[in-house]
Amino acid sequence: MSMKPLKEGTGFVYSPAARGRRLKIMGAGESLGGEFETVGIMGEGIVHGDLQADVFKAMGTCRVDGSADLREGRVQGDLTVEGSLRAGTFKGLGQLTVRGGVSAGRLKMQGHLETGAFCEVEEAELSGGFRIGGLLSADRLDVNLYGPCEAKEIGCGRIEVKRSRIMDLKRRFTSMGPSVLKAGLIEGDEIRLSYTEASVVRGNRVTIGPGCVIGRVEYARTLEKSRGAFVGSEVRVRS
């Protein structure tokens, strides 16, 4: 089930009892979940149960055994959420693994993102690789390919996918898979794709760039194709 993201910039809204409650883990430690104003983890931390926090900051390795509701989240390292993640804003550098779904106002991830279900955001910037278990949806989505990316379906108002030339060189000396986005369906108003493999791309204004392999493109207004792209069939539809 979809979750409504917390509004960015709002205060802590869970209960008056949570105001002033702070959770801090330094080194290695564990804590019960609950409602907190701030959560700070540096090292290795485990939170047992659901977690609700106004501000969540972690550096190192952290696991939440339940779901997490955060107005603001910032993580450097690895964070695993066994339930679902809901946030107003979330910035991550490293790896974010969510067994359930993700719902956020703004999501900026550098590294690897993996979800067991949907990922619904208003604005997202994903740099690295990801695997989305369900629908990836956003008003605006920017993808910088630094590794394999996969989603069952993608639905956006605006989506742009591009790949760094520097990573093409690095990939020759690592076991990292090809920096390609794979999806069954990509649908949106304005679509700009590079190094993307999809069965169907459907949009208003569509640009198919280099490295793309697309089975079928359906467009309402404009379609631009690079010489380095393959499109099985293209159909103009009524807007």
Binned at pLDDT 50, 70 and 90, residue 228 comes out as confident
Binned at pLDDT 50, 70 and 90, residue 7 comes out as very low
Binned at pLDDT 50, 70 and 90, residue 21 comes out as confident
Q: Is 214 exposed, middle or buried (0-12, 13-18, 19+ CB in 10 A)?
A: buried
Q: What is the tens place of the pLDDT at every residue in 123-152? A: 999 999 999 999 999 999 999 999 899 999
pLDDT for residue 75 is more than 80 = yes
Q: What is the pLDDT of residue 212?
A: 96
Q: What residues form DSSP beta bridges with 138?
A: 121, 156
- Is residue 168 within a helix (H) or strand (E), and if so which, with residue range? helix 165-171
Q: Which residue shows structure tokens 């108002």? A: 157
Q: What is the pLDDT of residue 178?
A: 80
Q: What is the tens place of the pLDDT at every residue in 161-178? A: 998 765 554 554 345 568
Q: To 10 degrees, the CA torsion angle through 57, 62, 64, 65? A: -170
Higher pLDDT, 1 or 232: 232
Higher pLDDT, 6 or 63: 63
Other beta carbons within 10 angstroms of residue 15's beta carbon come to: 10
Which tokens belong to 198?
A: 């999809």
pLDDT for residue 28 is more than 50 = yes
CB 118 within 8 A of CB 138: no
Binned at pLDDT 50, 70 and 90, residue 4 comes out as low
Spans of all domains in the chain: 19-236
Please list, in sequence order, all residues whose beta carbon lies within 8 angstroms of the beta carbon of residue 7, skipping any fewer than 6 positions away: 88, 105
Q: Report CA-CA distances (Å) from 65 to 25, 38, 48, 129.
A: 16, 18, 5, 24
Start-to-end CA span in the chain (Å): 30
Binned at pLDDT 50, 70 and 90, residue 238 comes out as confident
Q: What is the tens place of the pLDDT at every residue in 107-125? A: 999 999 999 999 999 999 9
pLDDT for residue 1 is more than 60 = no
pLDDT for residue 70 is more than 60 = yes
Distance CA 72, CA 87 (A): 6
Q: Where are the beta strands (DSSP E) in 65-195?
A: 68-81, 85-98, 102-115, 119-163, 181-193
